[in-house]
Amino acid sequence: MSAIGNLRERVAELADLAALEMLATWDQLVMMPAQGAGARALTLGTLARLAHDRAISEEIGSWLQEAEGSDLGDVDRDLVRVGRRDWERARRIPPELAAERARACADGQETWQQARAEDDFSLFSPALKRNVELARAYGECLAEGAGPYEALLQDYDFGLRTGELQELFGALAHDLPPLIDGSAAKSTPEEMAIPEAAQRKAVTAMLRRIGVDDGGWRVDVSAHPFTSWMGRGDIRLTTRYTESGTESLLSSLHEYGHALYELQVDPQLERTNLGGGTSMSVHESQSKLWENHIGRDRAFAEVLAGELASAGFDVAPGQLHAGIVSVRPSLIRVSADPVTYPLHIVLRFELELALIEGNLAVDDLPAAWREGTKRLLGLEVPSDALGCLQDIHWGAGSFGYFPSYALGCLIAAQLWETIVAEIGPREDHLRRGDVSAIQRWLGEHIHSHGRRLDTIPLVQQATGAGLQTAPFMRYAGSLTAA
């Protein structure tokens, strides 16, 4: 077989193994009996080890070299380019470090859970110190002259620079708080309690309206909403039903954004190393676009209110809309409103950068968290459980992941302005729940490319500009205006 034939076969195998990992993880979170957790952890460990062995094997190197010297079509050229990048990065990590990180990540999550439950940072700090050291060591293996934090970023978002993030997030830290100060003075509408049965019916009807059918989708319930794709014709999202009635609707739209991205990748990239979303931040831009710019649109509130009415819960579209766009600084990231949300990320970015680069000691984290929360959100932190112990990420050894959440908000706003500029205002369409032109635009300009374009060139190509804060600031301004 030719070198490119061998490469294609191997990346197809790796895509299949990734699909199995998705499936086993989805099953664990949605279907598996609780007592199966131990066996599932072992199974997932075996799968990860096998996939890693197949991804770093020597022969890939000779196939790449031969393919790089041959005459290839466009897709194969990208397949080889991304293949070399993935292969070289994977091979730079010593197996002992990878194994040690996997153990520390499992231990760290458990310790974190206990520390949060007991609101006792001192229980968590030894595990966090170990995770910081291992992440720094990991980053140094990949750094190639840059700092270890920038190297960690590349796992989630290839091509991002720490300096660019500092600039973007610095602008948010400067410009957002004044907007919020003005808005928080306004009275906030009370939360609406919507019966679960009505939420379920409305979520199902809303998703069906935008293309979620039983033939190629599943919609289930899980403790934390997420999206999985097991291959063509099999996309699964989850939601959850809480007392706060609109969360299930908005979070379903959020997950739908992730799902649509994977669904609309060019079919010719299927089962290659190019056949998925290009980065965490672009993925998050897709979910945020559906959540913030469609779900929170005033005209689309008529669709949501209509579906709720059909499900037996009457609410005026205006009242529903006021509830889902209200802005008020709060302590917990995952329930933050769309305007203050990025400030939670700015705080985490500042702190994790300082931890990895050695400018902040783990023991000083709680104090730094309190200072940052006061500075960015104007709030006092009454306890570490509601402060620096609230997120699982650092306990699980994930550093460099948080920025994608805020970048997602920025890119979503930037894409939305481009969509409106290119295909016209969406008000009339959204009032009828017609999102077909938006789906097509996203498919053409974002989704179809898969991993062929990295975040920054993709955004540049779709919007004519690099990453910016201005579109998001205009969106934030529209929500905080009197």
- Catalytic residues, by residue number, are 255
Interface stretch with its own copies, choices 32-40, 297-305, 347-355, 471-479 (CB under 8 A): 32-40
Nearest approach in angstroms of CB 30 to its own copies is 9
Nearest approach in angstroms of CB 62 to its own copies is 19
Nearer to its own copies, 238 or 326 (CB): 238
Q: Which two tokens stand for residue 155?
A: 């796992």
Nearest approach in angstroms of CB 264 to its own copies is 15
Nearest approach in angstroms of CB 230 to its own copies is 6
Among 116, 258, 271, 452, binds its own copies (CB under 8 A): 271
Nearest approach in angstroms of CB 23 to its own copies is 6
Among 2, 39, 367, 424, binds its own copies (CB under 8 A): 39
Among 29, 47, 205, 368, binds its own copies (CB under 8 A): 47
Interface stretch with its own copies, choices 34-42, 155-163, 394-402, 438-446 (CB under 8 A): 34-42
Site mask, its own copies, residues 233-262, x = CB under 8 A? xxx---------------------------
Using rule CB under 8 A, residue 34 touches its own copies = yes
Using rule CB under 8 A, residue 81 touches its own copies = no
Nearer to its own copies, 46 or 310 (CB): 46
Using rule CB under 8 A, residue 267 touches its own copies = no
Using rule CB under 8 A, residue 232 touches its own copies = yes
Nearest approach in angstroms of CB 98 to its own copies is 17
Site mask, its own copies, residues 122-141, x = CB under 8 A? --------------------
Using rule CB under 8 A, residue 35 touches its own copies = yes
Using rule CB under 8 A, residue 13 touches its own copies = yes
Using rule CB under 8 A, residue 102 touches its own copies = no
228 strand-pairing partners: 236
Using CA of residue 391, residue 357, residue 152, residue 168, what is the dihedral sign? positive
Residues 183 to 222: which contact its own copies by CB under 8 A? Answer: 214-218
Among 6, 16, 119, 146, binds its own copies (CB under 8 A): 16
3-state helix/strand/coil string of the chain = CCHHHHHHHHHHHHHHHHHHHHHHHHHHHHCCCHHHHHHHHHHHHHHHHHHHHHHCCHHHHHHHHHHHCCCCCHHHHHHHHHHHHHHHHHHCCCHHHHHHHHHHHHHHHHHHHHHHHCCCHHHHHHHHHHHHHHHHHHHHHHCCCCCHHHHHHHHHCCCCCHHHHHHHHHHHHHHHHHHHHHHHCCCCCCCCECCHHHHHHHHHHHHHHCCCCCCCEEEEECCCCCEEEEECCEEEEEECCCCECCHHHHHHHHHHHHHHHHHCCCHHHCCCCCCCCCCHHHHHHHHHHHHHHHHCCCCHHHHHHHHHHHCCCCCCHHHHHHHHHCCCCCCCHHHCCCCCHHHHHHHHHHHHHHHHCCCCCHHHHHHHHHHHHHHHHCCCCCCCCCCCCCCCCCCCCCCCCCHHHHHHHHHHHHHHHHHHHHHCCCHHHHHCCCCHHHHHHHHHHCHHHCCCCCHHHHHHHHHCCCCCCHHHHHHHHHHHCC
Nearest approach in angstroms of CB 72 to its own copies is 24
Among 6, 25, 29, 43, binds its own copies (CB under 8 A): 43
Using rule CB under 8 A, residue 29 touches its own copies = no
Give the interface with its own copies as residue ranges (CB under 8 A). 12-13, 16-17, 19-20, 23-24, 27, 31-40, 42-43, 46-47, 50, 214-218, 230-235, 271
